[in-house]
């Protein structure tokens, strides 16, 4: 069993290094077995439960979790499975869709900044400001001279959040092209999943290579000491759940969230 710190180190995009998803094996088990990984994930979930309770009680620091990945990479599944450890009070989830007219009338960070977590909260972003250098770039929704400045703008924004007491942890869920095919087919075939299947997703799938290039550049240019990216091999949900829960628990544990000590309570109080 890989030690938690080993997972965290192995999957982090080192700031300043160049990321190439083509070199990644999304299908890897990292030498782990499913049964023991599932058991280990339960342990991490207990850690997360305890850490979030302390963070919320302490109400002094914030955590921002960013989830990105191509369609069917498992963003929704990760929220359902891993974030289940958290008390919903204190864990706002924000899903960023095609911007509304009002959102488009503002700078690209406007809608995102409004959703950042307050003190004591763990905010989860299902998609994020990164869409503005991903789908926007791939589809030419803004000219290059506009989106190309956004990597630096994102780094500056995230640095502002970090300096204000928000710990940022970003997960890129990586699946390969054949895994996406299987997941789309499964969505189509399963009556309980078909609602998720969109014909438009097949057009996006044709742009696979363009997306990979956009992901590579985003991961390369925006993994910083104050907001690192972790690239999670995600063909296997059980490995993804273990990796995300472990890295998140390690990160929050590093903040040492502590229950506050209420001042001026009399000693040995007995309530009658
Ligand atoms: P889903 O996550 O499946 O609900 O889909 C949300 C859709 O919104 C995806 O196709 C995203 O690419 C799209 N989206 C999110 N943010 C933006 C953005 N800033 N500009 C354009 N499309 C976006
Ligand atoms: Mg979708």
> What band does 4 get if pLDDT is binned at 50, 70 and 90?
low
Name the pLDDT band for 264 (thresholds 50, 70, 90).
Answer: confident
199 in ligand 1 pocket by Cβ < 6 Å? no
Q: Tell me what the mean pLDDT of segment 121-134 comes to.
A: 98
Question: Which candidate, 51, 50, 10, places its Cα nearest to that of 239?
Answer: 10
142 Cβ closer than 6 Å to some ligand 1 atom: no
- pLDDT of the residue at 1: 43
Place of tokens 């359902």: 80
Once rounded to an integer, what is the mean pLDDT over residues 127-140? 98
Looking at the CA of residue 201, tell me the nearest atom of ligand 1.
10
pLDDT at residue 263, as a whole number: 83
Q: Scan for tokens 């095609």, then name that residue.
A: 98
Nearest ligand to the CA of 100 is 1
pLDDT in tens, 171-208: 999 999 999 999 999 999 999 999 999 999 999 999 99
The 10s digit of each residue's pLDDT in 60-92 is 999 999 999 999 999 999 999 999 999 999 999
Tell me the mean pLDDT in the region 145-152. 98
Residue 59, both tokens = 């109400």
Q: Answer whether 96 contacts ligand 1 (Cβ < 6 A).
A: yes
Q: What is the pTM of this model?
A: 0.97
Give the residue, out of 76, 79, 131, 200, with the most ligand 1 atoms within 8 A of its beta carbon, to mutate for a pocket test: 131
Alpha carbon distance 127, 135 (integer Å):
11
How many angstroms separate the Cα of 127 from the Cα of each of 4, 56, 76, 103, 231? 26, 24, 10, 15, 15
């Amino acid at each position: 069993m890989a030690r938690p710190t080993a997972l965290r180190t192995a999957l982090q995009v080192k700031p300043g290094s160049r990321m190439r998803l083509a070199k990644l094996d999304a299908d890897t088990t990292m030498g782990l077995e499913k049964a023991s990984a599932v058991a280990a994930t339960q342990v991490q979930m207990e850690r997360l439960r305890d850490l979030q309770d302390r963070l919320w009680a302490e109400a002094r620091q914030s955590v921002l979790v960013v989830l990105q990945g191509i369609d069917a990479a498992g963003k929704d599944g990760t929220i359902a499975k891993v974030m289940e450890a958290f008390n919903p009070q204190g864990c706002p989830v924000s899903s960023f869709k095609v911007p509304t007219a009002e959102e488009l009338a503002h700078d690209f960070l406007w809608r995102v900044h409004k959703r950042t977590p307050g003190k004591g909260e763990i905010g989860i972003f299902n998609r994020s400001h990164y869409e503005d250098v991903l789908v926007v770039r791939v589809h030419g929704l803004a000219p290059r001279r506009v989106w190309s400045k956004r990597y630096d703008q994102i780094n500056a924004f995230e640095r502002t959040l970090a300096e204000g007491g928000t710990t940022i942890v970003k997960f890129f869920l990586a699946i390969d092209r054949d895994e996406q095919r299987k997941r789309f087919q499964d969505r189509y075939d399963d009556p309980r999943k078909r609602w998720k299947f969109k014909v438009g997703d097949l057009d996006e799938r044709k742009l696979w290579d363009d997306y990979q290039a956009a992901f590579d550049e985003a991961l390369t240019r925006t993994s910083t000491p104050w907001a690192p990216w972790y690239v999670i091999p995600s063909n296997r949900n059980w490995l993804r759940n273990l990796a995300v829960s472990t890295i998140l628990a390690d990160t929050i544990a590093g903040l040492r969230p502590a229950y506050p000590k209420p001042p001026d309570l009399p000693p040995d109080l007995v309530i009658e």
